[in-house]
Amino acid sequence: MKKYLLTFLAIVVFFFSCKKNSGSTNSPSTFSLTFTLNGKNNGTNNYTNVNATPVFVFSFTAPVQQSSVASNVSLVDKSNNTVPVSITMQHSDSVAIIKPSNSLGSFSKYSLSVSQGLQSTTKGTLLDPVSIIFSTAIDSSNKFPQIADTALLTLVQQQTFKYFWDFGHPVSGLARERDNGDNETVTTGGSGFGIMAMVVATSRGFISRTDAVARLNTIVNFLTTKCQRWHGAFSHWINGSSGATVAFGDNNGADIVETSYLLEGLLTARQYFNSTADPNETALRDSINSIWNSVEWNWFTQNGATSSLFWQYNPSYTATSDIWSIAVSGWNEALITYVLSASSPNYSITKGVYDTGWAQNGGIRNGNAYLGVVLPLGEPYGGPLFFTHYSFIGINPNNLSDAYCNNYFTQNSAHAQINYNYCIANPSGNYGYSNLCWGLTASDIPNGYTASSPTNDVGVIAPTAAVSSLPYTPTQSMNAIKFFYYKLGDKVWGDYGFIDAFDLNTPWFASSHLAIDEGPIICMIENYRSGLLWNLFMSCPEVKNGMVKLGFTSPNL
């Protein structure tokens, strides 16, 4: 009897075990799906470079109720707006083919979702709802009529100049920091670039000489009568109405590098507006000289206590390390600071400060090859491209040499070429990088700001990088300008020319223009076209003396 009871129990256990297993794998109450996008599945739910009329095919492990499909399938754009779709059922309702009803926008982000409310014909539940994130590809059509390259360069300069002229601060005339921020904050360095842009605009006939002089006199009068200064130097940011200092991070005092960009522009303007018959131009030159002669450049060596210039003076601190922050050491964007410091008629630094503080006694030399290009100076791969722009809006690098570099034009060309070659190689696999779409420098990025470079590549292209490199990579930069304007123009071209930056991976397009990025576009295009700003700045007798003092040689000195 015991034997029969054990056999009966074994049969019962087996029966219930089979029933449990059957329910866990083949229950009619659940079903699943697989999908393809344009016939492919990359193993993820994220896709880029998708055409404007994509086809999604969803295959279900059970027939689905047609009445539940429309309410549980949705296509939305980046702003969560619903995009109409067409849905076709096939294979006894076990396959759904989904297409947008109309062509999608180029370089736009979308999400196609199938939710858990979808039911099978046996009222089963979808086990794996899915949301497919995808970005559409470029629309390769021209967004604007094609014009001659020279006309395009003029258009880019003229449109970009509106940032400094139309959007200039109404009280001070200085350049606002950005057009998507506090409109009271103006930028010292960006204003220097804007002043040089006004010289270009006058030369090109975008504005009259009279109007330019009037605006510039407004600027210099504001600088001399309203702005707070420390030993002649200005702060990084200024309130455009009151002249009060606006804190830049921890810096609440003088910024000698930003001041040098401002003086780079003012001295260039002094050389251009040289009429002795016009009292307004005479007054402008007198005001510029007053500002220039009052900057105590040598005081920024901690009043002679160090053999280097220091970037920031912060008077509200007590510790020396906080009062003086960031030694100005090369190679970076601040060569102009040492050149002007050596050129000062009243407060000049010695050559030893240049050799030790800037050149690090030769430590700025590089000499290695990156992506097939030898880089004479600086960090590996060159760093962000603004290193080749800011100082060299005024300093002419052509056949310029000193103890550390045989030709600064070679240095800048190598830097730009490495940046270009990196974007073509695209080791990070960023969508859109190419021989037409390149340029890494400091710019806005999604939810922030960074100095992009080959060693800090976050997938963001800044038009100013390639455009402002036109003197160094003329063919590559011109191709980029045409790509940005003709192919991406509906996304990156606006009231003030090219936007600050974009990321085609996301995709993301900045809502901003920044003075320090817009200014080099106008100015470096002009240096490529005519050498105007190079010729004017290098004609300053003080600059000639200062550069010779530092050991520079050039046909322009």
Rounded percentage of the chain residues whose pLDDT exceeds 90: 90
Instruction: Give residue 91's identity as a one-letter amino acid code.
Output: H
Say what the pLDDT of residue 26 is: 44
DSSP 321: H
How would residue 13 be classed by pLDDT, with cut points 50, 70 and 90? very low
User: Does residue 505 contact residue 431 with C-beta atoms inside 8 Å?
Assistant: yes
The CA distance from 32 to 251, in Å, is 58
- What is the average per-residue pLDDT within 222-228? 98
Give the DSSP per-residue string, 213-277. HHHHHHHHHHHHHT---BTTBPPSEEETTT--EE-BTTB-SEEHHHHHHHHHHHHHHHHHS--SS
Residue 28 — very low, low, confident or very high, per pLDDT cuts 50/70/90?
low
Band (pLDDT 50/70/90 cuts) for residue 5 is very low
505 vs 203: which has the higher pLDDT: 203
User: Across residues 492-519, what is the average pLDDT?
Assistant: 96
Place 219 in a pLDDT band, splitting at 50, 70 and 90: very high
Mean pLDDT calculated for residue range 37-51 = 94
Other CB atoms within 10 A of residue 379 CB: 16
Q: Are 359 and 307 in contact (CB under 8 A)?
A: no
Least confident of 19-23, 197-201, 387-391, 453-457: 19-23
What is the structure's pLDDT at 19? 41
At residue 367 the predicted structure's pLDDT band, cuts being 50, 70 and 90, is very high
Q: Which amino acid is at 94?
A: S
Least confident of 22-31, 121-130, 246-255: 22-31
What's the pLDDT score for residue 336? 98
Tens-place pLDDT, residues 140-176: 999 999 999 999 999 999 999 999 999 999 999 999 9
Q: Is 16 a residue whose pLDDT tops 70?
A: no
Q: What is the DSSP letter of 111?
A: E
| Helix, coil or strand: residue 114 | strand
Q: Which of 13-17, 177-181, 516-520 has the lowest mean pLDDT?
A: 13-17
Is the CB of residue 436 less than 8 Å from the CB of residue 480? yes
Look at the block and give the residue holding tokens 């522009």: 265
**Distance in angstroms (rounded) separating the CA atoms of residues 116 and 127:** 7
- CB count, 10 Å around CB of 349? 28
Does the pLDDT at position 9 exceed 50?
A: no
pLDDT at 250: 87
Per-residue pLDDT, 318:
86
* 135-147 per-position pLDDT tens digit: 999 899 999 999 9
Report pTM. Answer: 0.90
Rg (CA), the chain: 31
Residue 7 pLDDT > 60 = no
Whether pLDDT at 327 is above 70: yes
Question: Could you give the domains of the chain?
Answer: 34-136 (2.60.40.1220), 149-549 (1.50.10.140)
How distant is the alpha carbon of residue 5 from its chain centre? 81
What value does the mean pLDDT of the chain take? 94
Mean pLDDT, rounded, for 295-314: 97
Residue with tokens 């760093």: 383
Nearest to 551 by CA among 342, 383, 385: 342
How far lies 471's CA from each of 412, 497, 523, 526, 527, in Å?
Answer: 9, 19, 11, 9, 7
Q: What does the pLDDT average to over 512-517?
A: 98
Statement: residue 10 has pLDDT above 70: no
d(CA 356, CA 337): 14
The DSSP bridge pattern shows strands 85-90 and 95-100 to be: antiparallel
**Rounded distance, CA 512 to CA 301, Å?**
36
Percent of the chain with pLDDT over 70: 95
Structure tokens at 267: 């001295």
From CA 347, how far away is CA 397, in angstroms rounded? Answer: 25
| pLDDT tens sequence across 246-262 | 999 988 999 999 999 99
H/E stretch holding 486 reads none
pLDDT higher than 70, residue 346: yes
